[in-house]
A and B are shown apart, each in its own frame.
Chain A
Amino acid sequence: MKQKQELILEVKDIYKSYGGKEVLKGISFQVFKGETKVIIGPSGMGKSTLLRCINQLTIPDRGTIWLKGQEVTHRHTREINLFRQRIGMVFQDFNLFDHLNAVGNVEIALIKVKGMNRKEARNIAFYELKKVGLEKQAFLYPAQLSGGQKQRVSIARALAMDPEVMLFDEPTSALDPELIGEVLGVMQKLVQDGMTMLVVTHEMGFARSVADEIIFLEKGRILESGPPEQLFYQPKYERTKKFLFKLTELYGDINGNRKK
Chain B
Amino acid sequence: MINWDFLINILIPSLQEGFLMTIKLITYSIPLGLILGILVSIGRVYGNLLLSLLCKAYIIFFRGTPLLIQLFILYYGFPSLGVYLSPFTAAVTGFVLCSSAYHAEYIRGAIQSIKSGQVLAAQALGMSKIGAITNIVLPQALRRAIPGCSNEIIYLIKYSSLAFMVTCIELTGAGKIVASRYFAYTEVFLVIGIIYLTIVSLATKILHILEEKLSFPGWESKP
The residue on A at minimum CB distance from B129 is A77
One of B117, B126, B127, B219 near A91 (C-beta < 8 A):
B117
Minimal beta-carbon separation of B104 from chain A (angstroms): 21
The size class of the interface chain A forms with chain B is: 20 to 34
**Chain A hits for B126, CB < 8 A:** 81-85, 109, 113, 161
Q: A161 vs B143: C-alpha distance in the bound complex, in angstroms?
A: 28
Q: Which of B118, B122, B126, B216 has the most CB atoms of chain A within a 10 A radius of its CB?
A: B126
The residue on B at minimum CB distance from A82 is B126
One of B123, B135, B139, B218 near A57 (C-beta < 8 A):
B123
**Which of A18-26, A138-146, A194-202, A232-240 faces chain B?**
A138-146
- With contacts A112-B135, A113-B131, A143-B217 taken as known, whether A93 is within 8 angstroms of B117 at the C-beta atoms is yes
- With contacts A81-B126, A99-B219, A154-B121 taken as known, whether A112 is within 8 angstroms of B140 at the C-beta atoms is no
Which chain A residues numbered 109 to 148 have a C-beta less than 8 Å away from chain B?
A: 109, 112-113, 140-144
Minimal beta-carbon separation of B167 from chain A (angstroms): 45
Interface string of B109-142 (1 = CB under 8 A from A): 0000011011011111111110100011001100
**Chain A hits for B121, CB < 8 A:** 89, 91, 95-97, 154, 157
In the complex, the answer to whether B219 meets A89 with C-beta atoms within 8 Å is: no
Classify the secondary structure of B's interface with A. helix
In the complex, the answer to whether A161 meets B125 with C-beta atoms within 8 Å is: yes
**Chain B hits for A50, CB < 8 A:** none
In the complex, the answer to whether A112 meets B131 with C-beta atoms within 8 Å is: yes
One of A77, A109, A141, A142 near B125 (C-beta < 8 A):
A109
**Chain A hits for B135, CB < 8 A:** 108, 112
Minimal beta-carbon separation of A72 from chain B (angstroms): 12
In the complex, the answer to whether A142 meets B218 with C-beta atoms within 8 Å is: yes
Q: A226 vs B217: C-alpha distance in the bound complex, in angstroms?
A: 46
A98 is an interface residue with CB less than 8 A from chain B: yes
A149 is an interface residue with CB less than 8 A from chain B: no
**Chain A hits for B125, CB < 8 A:** 84-85, 109, 113, 157-158, 161
**Chain B hits for A83, CB < 8 A:** 126
Q: A98 vs B126: C-alpha distance in the bound complex, in angstroms?
A: 19
Q: A82 vs B218: C-alpha distance in the bound complex, in angstroms?
A: 33
Minimal beta-carbon separation of A113 from chain B (angstroms): 5
In the complex, the answer to whether A84 meets B216 with C-beta atoms within 8 Å is: no
Which chain A residues numbered 66 to 111 have a C-beta less than 8 Å away from chain B?
A: 77-78, 81-85, 87-89, 91, 93, 95-99, 108-109
Minimal beta-carbon separation of B212 from chain A (angstroms): 15
**Chain A hits for B139, CB < 8 A:** 99
Minimal beta-carbon separation of A218 from chain B (angstroms): 26
A55 is an interface residue with CB less than 8 A from chain B: yes
Which chain A residues numbered 29 to 85 have a C-beta less than 8 Å away from chain B?
A: 55, 57, 77-78, 81-85
**Chain A hits for B117, CB < 8 A:** 91, 93, 95
In the complex, the answer to whether B218 meets A141 with C-beta atoms within 8 Å is: yes
In the complex, the answer to whether A141 meets B127 with C-beta atoms within 8 Å is: no
**Chain A hits for B129, CB < 8 A:** 77
Kindly list 4 other residue pairs between chains A and B, CB separation below 8 angstroms, not including A109-B126, A113-B131, A157-B121.
Answer: A91-B120, A95-B118, A113-B127, A143-B219
Task: Give chain A's interface residues, CB within 8 Å of chain B.
Answer: 55, 57, 77-78, 81-85, 87-89, 91, 93, 95-99, 108-109, 112-113, 140-144, 154, 157-158, 161
Query: Could you write out 13 A-B pairs with CB less than 8 Å apart?
Result: A81-B123, A83-B126, A84-B124, A84-B125, A87-B124, A89-B124, A91-B117, A96-B121, A97-B121, A99-B216, A112-B135, A113-B127, A144-B218
User: Top 7 closest A-B pairs, CB basis?
Assistant: A143-B218, A85-B126, A95-B121, A95-B117, A109-B125, A89-B124, A141-B217
Task: Give chain B's interface residues, CB within 8 Å of chain A.
Answer: 114-115, 117-118, 120-129, 131, 135-136, 139-140, 143, 216-219
